[in-house]
Amino acid sequence: MTETTDDLPPQAGSGEAISVRGVGKTYAAGAGPVRALMPTDLEVEPGEFVVLLGPSGCGKTTLLRMLAGLISPTEGTIEIGGRPLFTGRDATPARDALGSLGFVFQAPNLMPWRKVWRNIALPLEAKGIGRAERKRRATELAELVGLGEFLDHYPKQLSGGMQQRVAIARALIHRPSILLMDEPFGALDAMTRDTMNLLLQKLWQDTGKTVVLVTHSISEAVFLADRVVLLSHRPGRVQDILDVDFQRPRDLTVSAEPEFGDLVSHLRGQLGGQQ
């Protein structure tokens, strides 16, 4: 079915809940099975910002990729807005649940021969949406991520942070209610990363989407999250869940507050050199 033009603002509608019940993953590797994630329960509220933190190899990406429907759990169930993500016996995710999900990887994975707006609009081509509508929606999103002036640029003309903004806009183009982000700023320098954290917080506040983000950075986790979910060393399991109550919007000076330092120290202690 072809989507038509509508009058919705670019990212109207609030986030949906994610329900993870008994979800675990064992990979069938050549040298024998690898238990990446123990059966895990996690309820993410609509519009909540949850950060997954943990040592390398604890299964953060594995959990996020299962939430995205990219790989299937070995056991357990995932619901997106109350709809099961995996319905049958096979590993194929349900299309209606998938439509709620946008995914951002560490690398922007842009097509170098496409202009910014055509990279952002790429997912709409498969839906058969016409050029004028694709450009209209891509333009709105480019403006939302601060790239309104760069619609006709090519990726190589953009900095790393700008390229990642394009990737975020592309993940939002089909109006998902949930944004899943795997180390989205891991490859950026510290200053650009700060800017991107502020942009992401604003985007999240303006759109009301649910966000689940994976990071290695304790301070990024505390800055962004409503809740930090700490996973233990492989095989991963939930070791701790921390509420982060700083007022929104947060600015970068929040990291100078004693409570911020306390949370970072607490998490560092929990990780105990595992990172």
Ligand X SMILES: Nc1ncnc2c1ncn2[C@@H]1O[C@H](COP(=O)(O)OP(=O)(O)OP(=O)(O)O)[C@@H](O)[C@H]1O
Instruction: Please report, as ranges, the residues that interact with ligand X according to CB under 6 A.
Output: 27, 29, 34, 36, 54, 56-62, 216, 234
Closest alpha carbon to 239 in 60, 79, 65: 60
Instruction: Report how far residue 225's alpha carbon sits from residue 217's, in angstroms, rounded to the nearest whole number.
Output: 12
C-beta closer to ligand X: residue 60 or 170: 60
C-beta closer to ligand X: residue 58 or 138: 58
Residues paired with 79 in a beta bridge: 19, 84
Whether the Cβ atoms of residue 17 and residue 81 lie closer than 8 Å to each other: yes
C-beta closer to ligand X: residue 56 or 265: 56
C-beta closer to ligand X: residue 32 or 269: 32
- What single DSSP character describes residue 121? T
Min dist CB 199 to ligand X, Å, is 23
Whether the Cβ atoms of residue 30 and residue 222 lie closer than 8 Å to each other: no
Min dist CB 273 to ligand X, Å, is 15
C-beta closer to ligand X: residue 29 or 190: 29
Instruction: Report how far residue 144's alpha carbon sits from residue 134's, in angstroms, rounded to the nearest whole number.
Output: 15
Min dist CB 59 to ligand X, Å, is 4
C-beta closer to ligand X: residue 135 or 233: 233
Q: Give the pairing type, strands 210-215 and 49-53.
A: parallel
Helical segments of the chain, H only: 60-67, 95-98, 116-120, 122-125, 131-144, 160-172, 190-207, 218-224, 258-271
Whether the Cβ atoms of residue 154 and residue 112 lie closer than 8 Å to each other: yes
Closest alpha carbon to 222 in 259, 178, 191: 259
Instruction: Report how far residue 53's alpha carbon sits from residue 68's, in angstroms, rounded to the nearest whole number.
Output: 17
C-beta closer to ligand X: residue 145 or 188: 188
